[in-house]
A and B are shown apart, each in its own frame.
Chain A
Amino acid sequence: MKNKKRKTEMEIREIVTPGQKISPRNKRMGDNVFVEEGNIYSERMGLVEVNEKRVEVIPLSSVYIPSQGDIIVGVVQDVTPTSWVVNIFSPYTAYLPVSRAFQNLRESEKLELNKKIRVGEVLVAQVEIAGYGINPILTLIGKRLGRKRKGRLIFVNPAKVPRIIGKKGSMINILMKETGCEVIIGKNGVIIVNCEDEEKEALIHEIIRKIERESHTKGLTNRVEKLLDEKLRKCKK
């Protein structure tokens, strides 16, 4: 039953351009639409998703704007006396205060922050504070957050991140299960892939690029599954 509903929703997807009329204003507005003179218009290039109640445009390209609670992958850019400056590949630079990186830090350690986390290190962090035009504050306190020292960084357009994760994590779960690699996806479009052997890392890189290119097409999860199967068989041989 659920599957049926999903299919009909998918079929309504259509590419729209900025300023294109989507529907009269009798529905709830989702993301990336605006109202003018009683009609709902798209404000971006994207795919329309219309159902009985809601209108939404899924963008095809965007930049990352931080919002509270996002898990992101960033690179340490600078160290200041009280915090680290983190490049999160967004128009806004993020700050990681000492108090949110380490609990119970000794006074003597606070004087040597540059030894705790070095410039150039990769962090998996959560956005703790973010707002309109504010530089976000990050935290490392939480599950699966912290420094990452191994793996390959892959940069994708942040608009494609939901597709790489898939519905309820379907896509990412396939990738992780089939290859046995660790894949961490930052909301900002930075992905860490950590595998035992490089061949698999390259394979995941290739597949992520494929998802990015074909994110707006139907039946992608199945195609990816097939491709992965084929390539993995070749790997083993």
Chain B
Amino acid sequence: MSYLLKEKPKKLINENGLRLDGRKRLELRPIKLKVGTLKNANGSAYIEWGRNKIIVAVYGPREIHPKHMALPTEARLRCRYSMAAFSTPERKRPGPDRRSIELSKVIKEALKPALFLERFPKTAIDVFIEVLESEGGTRVASITAASIALADAGIPMRDLVAACAAGKVDGQIVLDLNSAEDMYGEADLPIAMMPRKKEITLIQMDGKMSIDEFNESLKICIDACDKIYEVQRKALIEKFKV
């Protein structure tokens, strides 16, 4: 809890090059992924990424309601990102707000290119993302978990989607920002990609970076996504191991 700060600390990276949670500059937080945690959903996943705890459920392809939302040539992908009231240090007012509506949209668009939606015309695929605890980087953790929940549901996909963030903190480029670094750092660059073909499906930036810094952030993010991809594949195979 010590690094969940309400005021800006003097230094986010100490003289030994360690960050507030003791990580090195290019170190990911530990990731724990579990597939098939919910029995009622077609596919589900639970992710612990540092202190982020997120549960994802995928339903579908199923009949679409309301009926007028049906698309004649493809399935409609619907995403709902929602944070639990107890997910933040201060109570969060439950229900959709500006931020979660935006995140629902960008997560949907990050997942969509990976899916063969045209296989299931006039149907809906629903992805529900519930953040139980948050510590910065919930959107990338959500995308990572949602993509394996979709695979668990048996929905045809071109590739899994792995996601990670990089950013600039205390003038240095760091990987996988936590909440303090996100809040008091200089820039934040979340990226989602399909690692097989290195296709980027989400890129956002908040703050200021030079072009060189941006390129370096992009590179470390892509390397991290490859690592996350392996974790995802392992988690999926783990479910069916005898």
Contacts and interface: CB of A to CB of B under 8 A. Distances in A.
A92 B151 contact: no
Contacts of B155: 44
Contact of B121 (A18, A43, A132): A132
Contacts of A44: 151, 154-157
A14 to B, nearest CB: 9
Interface string B219-242: 000000000000011001100111
Interface stretch (B60-68, B91-99, B128-136, B203-211): B60-68
B120 interface: yes
Most buried by A among B197, B232, B240: B240
Contacts, number: 84
Given A17-B160, A43-B116, A132-B121, A91 B154 contact: no
A18 B62 contact: no
A62 B157 CA distance: 13
A60 interface: yes
B158 A19 contact: yes
A32 B194 CA distance: 19
A159 interface: yes
Interface string A163-187: 0000000000000000000000000
A92 B242 contact: no
Interface string A1-39: 000000000000001011111000000000010101000
Nearest to B153: A61
A237 B180 CA distance: 67
B61 A63 contact: yes
Contact of A133 (B114, B122, B152): B122
Nearest to B234: A17
Interface in B104-128: 114, 116, 119-123
A51 to B, nearest CB: 22
A74 to B, nearest CB: 14
Contacts of A217: 242
Contacts of A214: 242
Given A92-B63, A133-B72, A45 B160 contact: no
A63 B60 contact: yes
Contacts of A63: 42, 60-62, 154
A91 B194 CA distance: 28
A17 B158 contact: no
Contacts of B151: 17-18, 44-45
A65 interface: yes
A17 B122 contact: no
Contact of A18 (B61, B72, B158, B241): B158
Interface string B22-66: 000000000000000000001100000000000000001111000
A45 B152 contact: yes
B159 A19 contact: yes
A214 B157 CA distance: 24
14 contacts: A17-B237, A18-B151, A18-B159, A19-B114, A19-B160, A32-B156, A41-B196, A60-B240, A61-B152, A62-B154, A91-B60, A91-B122, A92-B123, A216-B242
